[in-house]
Amino acid sequence: MPAVYHDRSARRHLCRDHFIAAVESRVAETIRSRQMIVPDDHVGIGLSGGKDSTALLMLLSRVLPSIGRVRLTALTVDEGIHGYREDTIRSADRLARDYGIDHISVSFSELFGKTLDAFLVGREHEACTICGVLRRKALAVAAKQAGVTKLATGHNLDDEAQSVLMNVLRGDLPRLVRDPGSASQGWFIPRVKPLMYVAEKELAVYLMLHGAWPDLPECPYAVHALRGEVRTLLATLEQRHPGTMQHLLASKAQIEKRCGRVSGAGPVRQCTKCGDPCSGEICQLCLLKKRLGM
């Protein structure tokens, strides 16, 4: 069979079947080696409808039967982004139906009284910060409704490498070595990232080979994020020096080994405002609500 993918890091060309098998094997090994998902887990999949979450649902549906009996439920958050979210939500609905997976949706309007668009009027440069806090809460609500034991997100190798570099640029060592998955102590639903060693371009090729590429727009607020600049920088370095992103993750692992992984930002306590678990006196959501006048 003709080659469809050139793995520049490993200096090899892969045909369709070998490429698909290689990606699925890597995801299965990531799950097993880190015990992300175990038999009898009920896994909530953060399904935005975009390419990464679409690939996550497809891959978990294919690799989890080899791990054991695992139930899947798709969880979608409608932030309320006009001209963007409508298409992605339709894509998520269709995908969940095609795979016969239960699908739960929650919205910012229902939970917080406004859409993200409404919250960001005059605050567009804060889009990712505000959305991140509200989205984490919305996903937690959806996960609790579904009764899941794990929450899987579609973060890929590019995302992880970008986060490492961003934390280095900010001088934020505690966040660099923080381990939110093991910090739950019964307070939080553990989050897992089965795609953390699969590059974004590999996921794109995987979807194309399955005829499942979602031709959808990018979030209009992404242009305001530091991550966008870091993404461009890393993409350039990866093109010139294959393996750069893998080396960043390897460096993080070495730092964790020497410093020890930090379980969250501190001891878990209850927010004095809402009662939700947090690391400080007041949770990030309540602080944000106060700032936004919610």
pTM comes to 0.89
Are 271 and 277 in contact, with CB atoms under 8 Å apart?
Answer: yes
Write the burial class of residue 48 (CB in 10 Å: 0-12 exposed, 13-18 middle, 19+ buried). buried
Q: How far is CA 124 from CA 118, 120, 222, 275, 290, in A?
A: 10, 5, 10, 29, 18
The whole-number pLDDT of residue 38 equals: 96
Residue 274 falls within a domain, yes or no?
no
3-class DSSP assignment, residue 13: strand
3-class DSSP assignment, residue 191: strand
Residue type, 209: L
The whole-number pLDDT of residue 183 equals: 46
Residue 293 falls within a domain, yes or no?
no
The whole-number pLDDT of residue 267 equals: 67
The whole-number pLDDT of residue 16 equals: 96
The whole-number pLDDT of residue 180 equals: 55
Residue 196 falls within a domain, yes or no?
yes
Residue 65 falls within a domain, yes or no?
yes
Residue 279 falls within a domain, yes or no?
no
List the beta bridge partners of residue 226. Answer: none
Give the structural domain span for 247.
3-263
Number of structural domains the chain divides into = 1
Q: How far apart are CA 232 and CA 141, in angstroms?
A: 33
Residue type, 11: R
The whole-number pLDDT of residue 186 equals: 63
Residue 287 falls within a domain, yes or no?
no
CATH code of the domain containing 39: 3.40.50.620
Residue that has been written with the tokens 């579904």 in this structure: 146
Return phi, psi of residue 30, to 5°. Answer: -60, -45
Residue type, 74: A
Per-block mean pLDDT, blocks of 10 residues, the chain (294 long): 90 94 97 95 95 96 93 96 88 94 96 94 90 94 95 96 89 71 65 96 96 83 78 93 94 81 62 84 90 86
Residue 253 falls within a domain, yes or no?
yes
Q: How far apart are CA 130 and CA 288, in angstroms?
A: 7
Q: How far is CA 136 from CA 79, 159, 279, 285, in A?
A: 11, 17, 15, 9
Alpha helices, H only, the chain: 16-33, 51-63, 85-98, 108-112, 116-119, 127-146, 157-170, 173-177, 200-209, 226-240, 244-259, 284-292
Residue 52 falls within a domain, yes or no?
yes
